[in-house]
Structure 1
Amino acid sequence: MKMPPSLHSFPRSFFFCCFLLLSLFLLLLLLVPPSSSSSSSGAPNDKVTVSLYYESLCPYCADFIVNHLVRLFQTDLISIVNLRLVPWGNAWIAPNASIICQHGEDECFLNTIEACTITIYPDMMQHFRFVECLERLSLEGRHRQWMNCFQMTGLGTSPIDCYTSGNGKTIDLRYAKETSELKPLHRFVPWVVVNNQALQEDYRNFVTYICRAYKGQVIPSACRSSSLSARTYDESNEKVNNSFIPVCYADEARNLTIHFGNKIKQ
């Protein structure tokens, strides 16, 4: 009976060739990029980042969220969008480290509740449902019924604990820093930024900017509409310069506070 050859019976060159082939195979695995098929379903690298800087009781922010931004979720646009909500808006930090909001203490409180909800429930659809619910109540003049939104959206009440523990203020200050570092500086809210491009007065035309910024292979049906204009911000800005723009101005918030502050001192 023939015995199987021992390892020592193979020439060294055989092992060297095997080692060389294995090394080449591993090198190819490192050099070959992952399959691009994932881009057809809105791969993370293809998604367009849309950031909304707003405040909870600005009526124009509420209108934009409830009646315009919601289109992302009503169409297939959300498949190509990374939506970021930043509830700070025109608030600022006083010398005594307290936070002052354009529409009073209720707005400061609700900004923090929304900030906590966004942080605790990072899924876009989850926290947007809550924010949309609260902003709808704001539009209807019922913002003090905000707690109903937890039940209506099926979310837990952890954001309340976030507020009472002080963690909410930490989140607020992070949003304050981000908002203060915007380039160009925001002049009003809602302030919409698409892939680092501030839409400024043309913010309601956000769908056009999203579709133009998207570089993926599969185009959402919402971007195939012939009604989408190819205008630039400069062109659209000329048309709105002399008309009413539905926004809450940052300067007006500061001036109003200074005005009433001086009256109190007198």
Structure 2
Amino acid sequence: PSLQTGERVSLSLYYESLCPYCADFIVNKLSKIFQNRLIDVVDLRLIPWGNTHILPNSTWACQHGADECFLDVVDACAIRVWPEWTHFRFIHCVERLHLMGKHTEWRSCFTTLALDPTPLYNCYNYGLGYRLEKQYADETFALNPPHRFVPWVVVDGLPLQQDYQNFISYICKAYKGSSLPSACANPSSSYKVDYYESES
């Protein structure tokens, strides 16, 4: 049976494509929610903007240079043209390449994942990606409290701040459905958050 929208836990990741900490989180931590099926109770949103600034002439200054600006737009297009699991796999592939020092080989992810690149290229070439990025910029700038670093993880409106690597425990705490996902019942599949648990 499918979950009602109100039972799902919102999980938002504010990141930038060439941030090594973001790449590590996406590849080695966030991917766990697909492996342990926690994704079944989560609404996952990826927001590729991060610490980018808009200059007075309306151009963007990305923290890790022009390649990052380019790949942020590519990510925005991937999120638009492919469903959740597909665009996550693509972004995961690109970030894994980045961790290996090979982000310029990002196009190989189309072949690796057997994806038709045409929808993404159309999104990029016709300017939709830039409009999507502007929306992500507005959303990032509107964060309250403002993000202080990336990756910036928010669970059901709660910014996890420095405790972002324990996001699975926060998802389990926030879940209001009738049956607790098995990932929450198994301590080995989530990170212990002793100080958070002692507050409840």
Shorter-chain TM-score range: over 0.9
Match of 2:60 in 1: 99
The one-letter amino acid paired with 2:101 is: G
The number of residues matched between the two structures is: 195
Change (3 A) 1:105 1:219: same
Match of 2:78 in 1: 117
Match of 2:94 in 1: 134
| Greater length-normalized contact order (CA 8 Å, ≥ 6 residues apart) | 2
1:175-209 CA distance string (max 9 Å, x none): 00000000110010000000000000000000000
1:44 CA displacement = 2.3
Match of 1:79 in 2: 40
Match of 2:105 in 1: 145
Q: Percent of pairs identical after alignment?
A: 51
Please, what TM-score do these two structures have when normalized by structure 1? 0.70
* Aligned mates of 1:144, 1:233 — CA distance in 2: 42
1:19-42 CA distance string (max 9 Å, x none): xxxxxxxxxxxxxxxxxxx5xx53
* Aligned mates of 1:145, 1:189 — CA distance in 2: 23
Match of 1:89 in 2: 50
Q: Work out whether 1:42 is the aligned partner of 2:3.
A: yes
1:171 CA displacement = 0.5
The one-letter amino acid paired with 1:152 is: T
Q: Which has the larger radius of gyration?
A: 1
User: Helix, strand or coil: the match of 1:128?
Assistant: helix
- The within-5 A match list for 1:1-266 is 38=1, 41-121=2-82, 123-157=83-117, 158-226=119-187, 228-229=192-193, 231-232=195-196
1:163 CA displacement = 1.5
The one-letter amino acid paired with 1:199 is: L
1:234 CA displacement = 11
The one-letter amino acid paired with 1:231 is: Y
Gaps of 5+ in 2: none
User: Helix, strand or coil: the match of 2:164?
Assistant: helix
What is the alpha-carbon root mean square deviation over aligned residues? 1.7
